[in-house]
Amino acid sequence: MRMSQRTRELRAKGADIVSLTIGEPDFDTPVNIRDAAKAAMDMGFTHYGPSPGIPELREALSVKLREENGLHYKASEIVVANGAKQAINNVTLSMIGPGDEVIILAPYWVSYAASVHLAQGTPVILSADVSENYKVPAARIAAAITPATKLIIINSPCNPTGAVWSRAELEEIAALVRAHPRLMVMADEIYEYILFEGELVSFGTLPDMQERTITLNGFSKGFAMTGWRLGYAAAPLPIAIGMGRMQSIISAGANQFVQRAAVAALQGSRDDVENMRAQYQQRRDMVLAALREIEGVKIADIPATFYAFPDVSAFLKNKTSQEMCDYLLEEHGVALVPGSAFGAEGCIRLSFAASEADIKKALRRIAQGLKSFR
């Protein structure tokens, strides 16, 4: 937020700023989805709908989760929400309370900790660094589990690192869940369609894990639908009922013509989704190659998402990632997000949901800026 605000101020004064801060696709929503929304509006789907979502969408999601992910949630176990963000808050507010601990794996998307705080729970942050491909090993998770631990949040593919957990890595976490009967997992798979290498394993497909997993997903990233505000969580029925109650108090659910459009998104051609994925992949290649050329930058592979999360600690000396981002913005005209925002001081996040021209320009500026940072 702070970087975007400062970018606007500098641009207003005429400065040439390239911004790679944004966490949303730079593409427009595919036309078949927009058309479906318009048609639904004209058909009169402009009234209140059922709070946990329209039956057609919950049913379509049940099919999607089964066919694409190998998960077996009934429509009644799926709660459609105003963005995955609302779905996360439905989870925390209905499951977590004072005294409950939630394990969050850093680098993490900042809203998880905020959501746990909102529910008056206690986030327990565990960190992994670039040498571990930013994936916290199961042994470190095991050591942090206490009788108060209620939930582990796994975000694969991960914002901000682009990391994807392998089946073997998830199996190790599943073994911990089996050993602790009160423990649940929230698996946030919102970047599933922006995958470049390997396979995405849905945590709930591991043996015995479906009834221990809340699967979270949304339309924002893969379908370029950020502004439509549509996400969902699938969970064992008692939790789904709790989430639905929470949502009926807070927002009474997502709007109906958007949900109709989401059915079209799920049932229509995926060509646009694939085109966007392919373009992110080209940009990913460009970003990785350029960052690897800067001596001193440490970078893990980026098998998914539209983020790069280089470790620039060698350039920081005793300064912070925020000070580095301020410097890169003020002196070199490139806006990035400091790693501290994701619980990972020493890193910076670049989003490559931007044009190739902007990405190239930004990478030149970053290379220069890092070298001259004092």
Is 339 an interacting residue with respect to ligand PLP (CB under 6 A)? no
* CB 343 within 8 Å of CB 155: no
Q: CB 112 → ligand PLP: shortest distance, Å?
A: 8
Q: Which is nearer to ligand PLP, 83 or 333 (CB)?
A: 83
Q: Which is nearer to ligand PLP, 23 or 242 (CB)?
A: 23
Q: Which is nearer to ligand PLP, 49 or 162 (CB)?
A: 162
Q: CB 79 → ligand PLP: shortest distance, Å?
A: 13
Q: Which is nearer to ligand PLP, 214 or 297 (CB)?
A: 214
Distance (Å, whole) CA 189 – CA 173: 16
Pair of tokens at residue 257: 């013509």
The residue from 105, 190, 258, 262 that contacts ligand PLP (CB under 6 A) is: 190
Order across the sheet with 213-218: list the strands.
Answer: 78-81, 231-234, 213-218, 184-188, 149-155, 101-106, 122-127
347 to 366, contacts with ligand PLP by CB under 6 A?
Answer: none
Q: Which is nearer to ligand PLP, 231 or 268 (CB)?
A: 231
Mark residues 102-131: x for contact with ligand PLP by CB under 6 A, - for none. -------x----------------------
Classify residue 37 by burial, with Cβ atoms within 10 Å: 0-12, 13-18, 19+: buried
Neighbours of 92 (CB within 10 A): 26
213 to 272, contacts with ligand PLP by CB under 6 A?
Answer: 218, 220, 226, 231
Is 155 an interacting residue with respect to ligand PLP (CB under 6 A)? yes
SS3 content of the chain, % helix, strand, coil (to 5): 50, 15, 35
Q: Which is nearer to ligand PLP, 329 or 353 (CB)?
A: 353
**Cβ-closest position to ligand PLP:** 83
Order across the sheet with 337-338: list the strands.
Answer: 307-308, 348-351, 337-338
Cα torsion through 117, 119, 120, 124, rounded to 10: -50
Residues 6+ apart with CB under 8 A from 249: none
C-alpha closest to that of 348 among 291, 272, 274, 275: 291
Q: CB 65 → ligand PLP: shortest distance, Å?
A: 16
Task: Number of residues interacting with ligand PLP: please give it, by CB under 6 A.
Answer: 13
Q: CB 222 → ligand PLP: shortest distance, Å?
A: 10
The residue from 23, 50, 137, 198 that contacts ligand PLP (CB under 6 A) is: 23
* CB 365 within 8 Å of CB 332: yes
Q: CB 37 → ligand PLP: shortest distance, Å?
A: 16
Is 159 an interacting residue with respect to ligand PLP (CB under 6 A)? yes
Q: Which is nearer to ligand PLP, 265 or 297 (CB)?
A: 265
Q: CB 307 → ligand PLP: shortest distance, Å?
A: 9
Cα torsion through 7, 13, 17, 20, rounded to 10: 20
* CB 51 within 8 Å of CB 250: no
C-alpha closest to that of 305 among 153, 164, 128: 164
Q: Which is nearer to ligand PLP, 100 or 188 (CB)?
A: 188
Q: CB 233 → ligand PLP: shortest distance, Å?
A: 11
Q: Which is nearer to ligand PLP, 225 or 299 (CB)?
A: 225
Q: CB 189 → ligand PLP: shortest distance, Å?
A: 9
* CB 72 within 8 Å of CB 93: no
Alpha helices in 137-236 (DSSP H): 138-144, 167-179
Which helix (H) or strand (E) segment holds residue 268: the answer is none
Mark residues 68-97: x for contact with ligand PLP by CB under 6 A, - for none. ---------------xxx------------
**Given the rule CB under 6 A, which residues bind ligand PLP?**
23, 83-85, 109, 155, 159, 188, 190, 218, 220, 226, 231
